[in-house]
Every structure is written in structure tokens, then in C-alpha cells.
Amino acid sequence: MCGIVGYVGRQSALDVALDGLHRLEYRGYDSAGVAILDTAGALVIERRAGKLVNLDRALAELGPIPGTTGMGHTRWATHGGPTDQNAHPHTDCLGMIAVVHNGIIENFTALRDELERQGHMFRSDTDTEVAAHLLEQMLRGRLAENGADLAAAFTEAFRRTCRCLDGSFTLLAVHRDLPDLMLGARRNSPLVVGLGEGENFLASDVAAFIAHTRDAVEIGQDEVVELRADRVTVTDLDGSVTAPRHYHVDWDAAAAQKGGHPYFMLKEILEQPLAVADTLRGRLTADGAISLDEERLSPQDFRYVDKVFIVACGTAYHAGLIAKYAIEHWTRMPCEVDIASEFRYRDPVLDRATLVVAISQSGETLDTLMAVKHAQEQKARVLAICNTNGSTIPRESDAVLYTRAGPEVGVAATKTFLTQCVATYLVALHLARVRGTLFGDEIGRVVEDLGGMPAQIEKVLDTVEPVRALARELADSKSVLFLGRHVGYPTALEGALKLKELAYMHAEGFPAGELKHGPIALVEDGTPVVVCVPSPLGRNTLHGKVISNIQEVRARGARTIVIAEEGDDAVLPFAEHVIRVPRVPSLLFPLVATVPLQVFACELALARGLDVDQPRNLAKSVTVE
């Protein structure tokens, strides 16, 4: 989950590292640090606990650090608390080697015990420091073996170190006496190369170097990159040269800026109409087929599918729950939705006729990646829905559909959630077409409905000021409950999650039909209850039942807040507050109903004086299990 940036070139390495860290701070903000190889031959390290501004202040007091090779790190704490001592970079005993790390080294206890027996002195509580001392030990051994030149010995020692590490990691390393070389490696954790002219970059996300170059190189599993100003060499852990894939990033630095908004989240909520439009653009071919971005499966492979599993975490899991309704309705196939971290441990029944759909904004979510690997071990087909080109989950999958939402910096997902929902609808339509459960004209009508959604979302955004006012009014509430039926249920779950993430308050989402089976005991006088009401036209029986649920909670003192379609006046006698959304087909209801819930959570958190871009204890990309 940590953010990593490395640079070798001709610019000030400190300036490049700090700029990259500011763009990556969404990945972790417990502490931050830099290591710069200065022109005087010293390895200068500065690090501070807390947000990146603390490091900025310390560096301002320290003054300029001349040097054109360096790396930076912003941390989401796993091993060891968020202290100066535990902040990265970490060094070896002599201060010759510095490393930064993202992930978890699972065998660090055994490695540390052995290194301490060999005389190494540790200064932190982190697993990362083990890598610095192990690299020192390996380098010492390599030089003793054959007296090889330092660069060759350091590179081979780095490979040997990586071979000794269990778990997931992105690891960068520099040596004080090798000012023109930086080493990097990855296993189940993100690392990408940025290619410049006379300069090159390493980072956990292209956002770190997007202001300098949009040309990038993927680093594969268990691969090592040797980064110099004039060249990049990629090898496997045995030293054999590999041929990595180059790609071009299709957004620029401006897309990752706030654009005049005080918070990224506010900007990203407003970007949702465009994000949905971009996700849909060009998806329908002339013959009515749905076009995926990468497809290593044939139509026959899709026709052979007889069951779908969806695996995801957090907000993406809620998108998967919504997808279940569409897939089963349009394809008449059973669909199960699993929290990715539980998937492989329940021993699901998978085979070659199973399609596993993996949803991940970053494409690096480790729980989801492990679910993908388990599915492939069971011979299932895997289709990835992802927002990050070239990330691990798409590379490991048999087919890919990118959501094209652009960079999302706010930790709480907004535009990526809506585009994930749209992407799952497209997957459902693709399956329906190849299986023959929907005719071409039926698919065309759904695609036409989807094409109209950006305008409908824009309409919601134009009318949310009363939602903001209501959120400010309820800022002191102790708890908020969310209810829904059909696709309104996962919509309610997403609304509750946003409030938990941003406002740090108790919020729960329930199926409205479950009220009488326990949750209604939570309702007391004044409790805000948000109800997602289904269309009175699409599902009449559910509409009436949800109206009854509103009456039940209101009779017990709830403050009822109802999200209802335009023209649905049946809710008026029972709602203290009505939030209107456009009338859309039932399955597409989450695309309009989620938006006011995002605005509500964001505004309520702001009214409490909280940072909506960087909620406490959270990071954007979860790359540890």
C-alpha cells in the first residue's frame, strides 16, 4: 500500500522524489522519507513520521541536497508503528545501502534472528530493515567469492536477497558508491518503470512520474530492474534478461491535479459523467458485439461458461453484488459474489466452465490477486475489470475490460465504483450475446440506456445542494442506517461504507426485508435512516414492500431520508427528506442513486473537519493480505 518513487537522471533527485511522493501520498501517509546520493559521495537520508508535510518541513530546514539519483517512500504502516525510526528508507549497518519497500516480508522474523546472530544491529521494528541487512550480507559474500566489480556484485546480491524473501514486496535499493544505479524488484506488489530521455524512473504508480514521461514499462513477477540514466535492464531472479512490455499512459499530469477543487474527492465525484462515458465509448462493435480491451478467450470459451464467480474487496465488492443481478437476469446463469480475501479459503468449486470476474481499481489488490491465482490453479477462466493499465491482475487474466476512469487519488472510491458497475453490465451483455440469451436488438437497447447515463448522472450532480445541507445538519449523528432492496441493497452497502470511511461513524447497510429480523432494534428516536426506493414501475411488489419498511422505522422514531425516482409521490407521506433521482431502468438504478450518497458522506465528513482525501488508517491500494 506504500508509495515508492525512484529516479536516476540529470534533474534534482530530491525534487523528483518529493513531487512523486506528493502524487502518491494517497497510498499511505503514516510516514515518509527520502534517500539521495549527493554529489559529494554521501548517502543522505531524511525521514519523518506523519504526513508528507512533516518531511517537507524537515528538508526545508536541512537545505538543498545536490544529487541526481534518489528514492522516496510514503508509508502505510504494517510492521512497527508510524514513527521516525520505522519510516523508510532503511539502511544496513554501515549506512552504505538504503532500501525502501512495499508489502510484507513473511519470513522476516527468521531472517532477522539469523542476521542478529551474525552481528547485524537493527534500529527499527519493521520487516523492511531485514532486506537492507540481508543485502549487505549477500554483497559481502558475493565480493568475497570472486572479487567482481561492485555494480555486478550489488546486482547479484540483490537478486539473491529477493530469492530469500517470502511474501509480497516491491523493493528498491541504492548503494552509496554506485551513484548511477538503482535496483528494483517486485513480487505480488506494483512496480513500473518510466522511460525518459537521459533519465528513468521507478514507481509503484505511474502518477509518480507522469509530469516527466508517459512512456512506461511493465515489470513482471519476480523480475529485477537495473535503472540507469541511459538504460533500463530487466532480468529474472536468475539473471536472465527478459523483454518487458512497453505501454503509453493515456492521461497526463493535469488529470491527477485537483483542478481548482479543495479536495480530490470533490473533483472525482464531478468527473463521474465523463468517466462513465469514457468507459462506454467504442464498446459496441458494428455487428452488435461488446468489445473488451484484451481478450485471450474465444467466443466458444464464453459459451462454455456455466457459472460466474465475482471476487473483489470493499467498494469493488459492492459493484460485484450489483453485477450479480445483471448477470443472472440477462444470462440466466448462476453468479456468486465473494469477498476476495475469503474466496480461496472456502474451497470454491471451480472448473474450466467457470468464469471468475476479478474487480480491482488498482489491479494490485493482493487479496483479489491471490483469488485470481487460485482460480487459475483450478483451471477457471479469469476476466479482470480494472482501472490501471498494465497492472498485475489484468496481466494475469485471460480477458480484460478497463474502466477508463482516469486517476482516482481520493482514497474513498467514487468514479471508479460507477465505472466498475458499467463494466460489469458490459460483461453481462457480452455473456448474454455469446450464449444467445439476449438478441442483438435487446442488447442494443440496454447499451442505449447505458449511453444515456452520463447525462442522468450529470442531472443528479446539478441537484445535490439539498443533500449537502442535510449532511451538515446531521453531522453530529451517532449512527446512520441504510436500507435497500434488489440493486438498492448493494447501493445501501456502498452508502454506509462511504460514511464509515470518511466520517468515522457507525453506519450499516441492510436489505430492507431483514429489518424485522434484528436490525430494527438499532432504530431509536432521531436515528437517520436512508432508504433506496425501487421504481414503482419496474418492480411494483418491491416498491410497496419498501414503503412499508419506511413506515416501520418511522413509527419507531427514525428520521427517514428517501432516495426515490422522479414522480414517485407514494413516498411523500413517510419521508422527512426526499432525494430525487432520474427514472432509469431498474438494473441501472445504482448509477444514479449512489451519487447523492457519495456527496452526503463527503459533506458530512467535511462538516466534522475531516480530510476526505486521506481518511485515517486507510490507503488507496491494498497490496498486503
3 state SS of 604: helix
Q: Extract the C-alpha cell encoding 193.
A: 518503470
Is 2 an annotated catalytic residue? yes
Instruction: Decide if 29 contacts 74 (C-beta within 8 A).
Output: yes
Distance of alpha carbon 328 from alpha carbon 172, whole angstroms: 45
Q: Extract the C-alpha cell encoding 33.
A: 522519507
3 state SS of 218: strand
Distance of alpha carbon 624 from alpha carbon 102, whole angstroms: 9
Q: Which of 97, 91, 106, 86 is nearest to 32 (CA)?
A: 86
Distance of alpha carbon 588 from alpha carbon 315, whole angstroms: 17
Indicate which residue of 415, 498, 500, 620 is catalytic: 620
* Preceding amide of 585 cis, omega within 30: no
Distance of alpha carbon 402 from alpha carbon 87, whole angstroms: 34
CA dihedral 34, 38, 44, 48 (to 10 degrees): -30
Is 620 an annotated catalytic residue? yes
End-to-end CA distance of the chain: 10
Q: Which 8-state DSSP code applies to residue 513? A: G
DSSP letter for each residue of 379-440: T-EEEEEESSTT-HHHHHSSEEEE-------SSS-SHHHHHHHHHHHHHHHHHHHHHTSS-H
Within 10 Å of residue 353's Cβ, how many Cβ atoms?
A: 13
Q: Extract the C-alpha cell encoding 540.
A: 411494483
Active-site positions read: 2, 620
